[in-house]
Amino acid sequence: MYQVLLYYCYTPLADPEQFRDEHHRLCLDLDLRGRIIVAAEGLNGTVSGSRESCAAYMAAVQADPRFAALEFKIDEVEAHTFQKLHVRLKDEIVHSSLRHVRPHEKTGQHLTPQQFKDLKDRDDVVVVDVRSDYEYNLGRFKNAVTLDIENFRDFPERVARLQEFKDKKILTYCTGGVKCEKASAFLLEQGFENVYQLHGGIIKYGHEVGGEDFDGQCYVFDGRVAVDVNTVNPTVISRCHHCQHPSPRLINCANPQCNAHVPLCESCGTLLDGACSAACAEHPDKRPYDGTGTYPKISNHYTPAQGLASYRA
Q: What mean pLDDT value characterizes the chain?
A: 93
Q: How far out from the chain centre does Cα 215 lie?
A: 17
DSSP state of 177: S
pLDDT of 246 higher than 60: yes
Rounded alpha-carbon distances, angstroms, from residue 115 to 32, 198, 200, 285, 305: 34, 9, 12, 49, 43
Catalytic residue among 174, 218, 253, 280: 174
* Amino acid at position 206, single letter: G
Domain boundaries, the chain: 2-89, 109-216, 238-293
CATH class of the structural domain 2-89: alpha beta
Residues 117-165: tens digit of each pLDDT: 999 999 999 999 999 999 999 999 999 999 999 999 999 999 999 999 9
Task: Give the Cα separation of 183 and 153 in Å (integer).
Answer: 10
Q: Is 54 a residue of the active site?
A: no
Q: What's the pTM value of the predicted model, to 2 decimals?
A: 0.91
Question: Which residues is 77 bridged to in the sheet?
Answer: 2
**160: CB partners within 8 A, 6+ apart:** none
Same fold, 2-89 and 109-216: no
In this structure, which topology does domain 109-216 adopt according to CATH? Oxidized Rhodanese; domain 1 (3.40.250)
Q: How many angstroms separate the CA atoms of 91 and 40, rounded?
A: 7
SS3 content of the chain, % helix, strand, coil (to 5): 25, 25, 50
